[in-house]
Every structure is written in C-alpha cells, then in structure tokens.
Amino acid sequence: MLLLTIIVYFHFNLSSSQGNELPYMTSDVKEVSGKLFDYIIVGGGTTGCPLAATLSQDFSVLLVERGGSPYGNPLVIDKRYYGFSLLQTDEFSSVAQSFISKDGVKNHRGRVLGGSSAINGGFYSRASDNFVERAGWDEELVKESYEWVESRVVFTPELTPWQIVFEFGLLEAGILPYNGYSLEHIEGTKVGGSVFDNWGKRHTSADLLEAGNPKNITVLLNATVKNIIFHTNDNAGNENETRAWGIRFIKSDGSSNKIHEAYLHRPKNSSPWGDVILSSGALGSPQILLLSGIGPHEHLKNFDIPLIQHLKGVGQGMQDNPCIALLVDKMPMNRLPEPPQVVGIADGLRFIIEAGVAPISFNASRMPIAAKIAFPVSKGKLELQSTDARQNPSVEFNYLEKDKDMNECVKMAELLERVAKSESIALFLGLKPQEKLMSSTDELRKLCKNNVRTYYHYHGGCAIGSVVDDDYKVYSVNGLRVIDGSTFQESPGTNPMATLMMLGRYQGIKLLRQRRDASSNL
C-alpha cells in the first residue's frame, strides 16, 4: 500500500507545477563541464539555496548538489512519511546519508536539494539575541533575512492532540512561562514555526530558489565535488597569491569516475572576482577543504594530497549536542509519524526538550520525548578516511567527555523524567501517574553514558577565527569562502535550520553590497 501511494504521489507531483520561478536543474554533468560562472556554490542545502537565490539577483551562479531533487518524493514532501527517509538509506542515492561517528552513535546528513531541511523535523525557531550579538551580525539585516525566509517557507502549525498533551507536560514540569506561538528563542514553553504547511507539505530551502533570478542560476544535481581548482601566481610584491579558480566534480552515483571541471568567470580589467563558496555542511565543507589541500599538513601527507595551505583548524572543534530520549509508549504501534511542534526551553536556555512520533519501520512507530544539552563543551575532530568525496569522513564528537557535560546531562535527565512522567502524559497514554521519579544521580549518570545519542545538530570544522575570517573567507586563499554550519561554534536556537537559511540570505546580501561598492569605486 505504501509503495502504491508513493508511485501515485510521485506521478501527481511531476505533473503538478512547482511554480515557474524554479531555476534550471540538470543531472547531466556534461551540460556544466567547462562552463564559467560568477559564483560557484558547493552544496544545495539549507544555506546554499537561499545564498544562490540572493546572489542570482546580479550574478550567474552554479549551485552544485550531490543529491537529487526533493520534488515528487513523498518521503521528503509528505508529512505522513516524516522520518521514513532516515530508514531507507544507501551508499550513493538516498536523500539521507547515514554515518556512525567514532563514538559509536548513528547519525545522518542530507543528500538532496534542500539538504537537511528536507529530512529533519521541520521545526523553525530563530537564534537568541545573544547569539546574534556574539556573531557580530547586523541585527537589522538579520531580522530582514529571517523575515525573507519566513514569508516563503514557514507556517503556523495546527497542534496535534499529542503535541497539546506534551505542551501541558512541559508546563507541569515547571518549564515556564508559556509563550504561545513564537519564532524567538526564549525561555519557557512555546509553539514554534514549521516548514510543513497545513496541508502536510514540506517546504525545504530549495523552495527559496524561487525567489532568485532563474535566468542566472544553474542547479547541477547528483554531482559530487572532488576538490577545488587553485591558481597560484606572483603578485606585485613577489609573494605567491593562491586563488580559487573553479571546481572538479564527478557523478554521485558511482557509475563513472570521469572528472569534470567548472570555473569562475575571470572579470575584465580590475573588476572584482566572484568566489567558490562551500555550503556543504559540517561534514562536507571541512572534507572538501582537506581534499583540496587545505588543512593540517601532516594529515594531508597521509593521503598524498598536495598542500595548498596549512590550516590546522580544518576539521577541528567538531561538536554535536548530546541528546537523551525516553520512550513514553509501552510498545511500537502503527501511528502516523509526527514532527515536533512544541518545545520546552529550560534553565537559562541550556536544555531543549521536544516530542514527536518517530517511525522505526514502515509500519511501526514510537513516541519519544528527547532533550539536548544546548551548550556542550566537549569537542572532537573530523578527518579523511579516503580521497573519495562520496564517502563519509571520519568524525568523533566525544560526547559527554568533559565532566561539565556529564553533570549537565544528569540535570537534563531529571527534567526529562519529570516531563515524561507528568500527569497529562500519563492520562493521555492511559497510564497511572507515577509519583516516584527515577533514580539516583548514579543511575542518571549511567543513563546518560549508555544512551547518549544525536539531536542531528552537529557543527564546527571550519570555525570563524581559525579557518575563516569574519567575512567567511578562508584564510590565505583568495576567492574561497565557507558559509554554513561548519563555521558555528554553537548550535543556534532550538535547532540551526532557521539561522542557516537566514545566513544564506544575509551573507548573499552582504556580498552583493560589497561587489556594488567595489564596482562603484573603479
């Protein structure tokens, strides 16, 4: 029955118009091979799509995505199949690519136009004011960029019975005040925005491409970037100047190892160049830098990769927010999946708690309540496992390695238990309310150690200050930027999706302004 539904849905969506504003998309690498563009964006994900749409106002843009199109795929678009994409993964073509960190924790990354906004829970919530201030961003432009995103892909959810009950459970546990519907990251219990509309259709960051100039954007799908092409020459001071010149790419499906190239357009006279911009996420962007010869010299030598620039920070400072989940139902049942719509933000924004209905197979689901530590201090690193860009790099997050994180996890588990065993949730599930809560501190520490998992909000690897500067330019290399979650040293808000979408728009506007200012000064 599920297969029949998918086939019908697929054909319906192919015949339905997606709007005439989407740019040209192709999976034929030959159509792009050898061509010139003002900007090349590697990664058509949560940040890359709004960035491409914005830059296309004035410039030609090549957007390269290693996965395919989300349109016509019910595992992406239809809320009824939320979470199913994480159950069905393969080596080269699935919309979610699974990986297991060296910590032994299973995880996923998006491999589809729209990136992780196409496979996540769709919960939309901005970063805190403090995060924006510490990032040094222009507050007014941040606000305008969030609103640009929200006017296109964000909706007010209609709460399900389970989400309403969970809301009461949060309030019973003392997660106050009640803030109603809000997109702001504030203490208490609130209803957030959603990229699922009220008809159950997901709107990924790929939809933001409709806001661009379709004549100026080419989207290359199912193509994996192997590395960046550089050109080195002597400048007036007889110092070597290294500049990103283009990219090398292959087909993602493994059917061919033939290498293709695309290049940045070389401006006439002294007009400014465009950039190669990595927006491939916290695993993809540091991996591509390493494969291109930018990173720790000793590590690159292990793979016989010629050194372009020794930057020891590439792949360092990897973090993932430790998560603990409790199942409140007694056994798997055939419930429709539900993404989270309500969140509890507790203890000075330190703990984030959400609930949903998560599929564990195509005909069974469970009801977890999950909490994450918002500000972990434990860090890990990312390294290459091979020179095949289609394969996952090696990553270790060192969950709960620092005592501070373990102590935070114990406090979080106590709060999580109060929510899960609240009277509202017990009555909803037909259970007798439990007066006795779990456990001693030792038992909670054991729970944390044995059950830590991911909240899918990993970040780092190309941090500002060690790999890129405040304008997201890679140090000591011209024409190369990284704009995505790999530059973060903290996951913003309840989750990073809203801020990553905003960042694409924000940095796109800044680049347009810089180019216009530079042209006016010629």
Letter for the amino acid at 307? L
Distance CA 183, CA 124 (A): 7
pTM metric for this prediction: 0.94
Where is 415: in which H helix or E strand?
helix 403-420
For strands 240-251 and 178-181, give the pairing.
unpaired
Distance CA 258, CA 240 (A): 31
| The pLDDT value given to residue 522 | 62
| pLDDT tens, position by position, 351-377 | 999 999 999 999 999 999 999 999 999
Full DSSP string of 212-279: S-GGGEEEE-SEEEEEEEEEEEE-TTS-EEEEEEEEEEEETTSS----EEEEE---STTPPP--EEE-
Contact 325, 368 (CB under 8 A): yes
Q: Would you please indicate which residues are annotated as catalytic (active-site) residues?
A: 457
Tell me the two tokens of residue 464. 């500002």
Task: From first to last of the 522 residues of the chain, give the pLDDT tens digit.
Answer: 444 444 334 333 433 333 358 999 999 999 999 999 999 999 999 999 999 999 999 999 999 999 999 999 999 999 999 999 999 999 999 999 999 999 999 999 999 999 999 999 999 999 999 999 999 999 999 999 999 999 999 999 999 999 999 999 999 999 999 999 999 999 999 999 999 999 999 999 999 999 999 999 999 999 999 999 999 875 555 467 899 999 999 999 988 889 999 999 988 877 789 999 999 999 999 999 999 999 999 999 999 999 999 999 999 999 999 999 999 999 999 999 999 999 999 999 999 999 999 999 999 999 999 999 999 999 999 999 999 999 999 999 999 999 999 999 999 999 999 999 999 999 999 988 776 666 789 999 999 999 999 999 999 999 999 999 999 999 999 999 999 999 999 999 999 999 999 999 999 999 999 999 887 776
395 to 103, 105, 300, 324, 372: CA distances (angstroms): 8, 11, 16, 20, 20
Specify the 3-state DSSP secondary structure of 361: strand
Residues 6+ apart with CB under 8 A from 321: 352, 372, 373, 374, 376, 454, 455, 457, 458, 491
Distance CA 75, CA 77 (A): 6
| The pLDDT value given to residue 269 | 76
Name the nearest CA neighbour of 196 among 21, 323, 50, 341. 341
Cis preceding linkage at 177, omega within 30: yes
| The pLDDT value given to residue 228 | 98
Q: Positive or negative, the Cα torsion across 30, 276, 487, 286?
A: positive
| Residue 92: other Cβ atoms inside 10 A | 17
| The pLDDT value given to residue 391 | 96
Q: Positive or negative, the Cα torsion across 25, 27, 28, 32?
A: positive
323 to 154, 251, 444: CA distances (angstroms): 26, 35, 13
| pLDDT tens, position by position, 158-200 | 999 999 999 999 999 999 999 999 999 999 999 999 999 999 9
Name the nearest CA neighbour of 76 among 202, 214, 235, 250. 202
Distance CA 380, CA 406 (A): 16
Tell me the two tokens of residue 110. 């998006």
Task: Tell me the HSE value of 106 on the side-chain side, using a 13 A CA sphere.
Answer: 6
Contact 305, 387 (CB under 8 A): yes
Distance CA 504, CA 507 (A): 6
Contact 337, 87 (CB under 8 A): no
| Residue 430: other Cβ atoms inside 10 A | 7
Residue 227, φ and ψ in degrees, nearest 5: -170, 175
Letter for the amino acid at 250? I
Residue 245, φ and ψ in degrees, nearest 5: -115, -25
Helix, strand counts (H, E) of the chain: 12, 28
Distance CA 466, CA 487 (A): 9
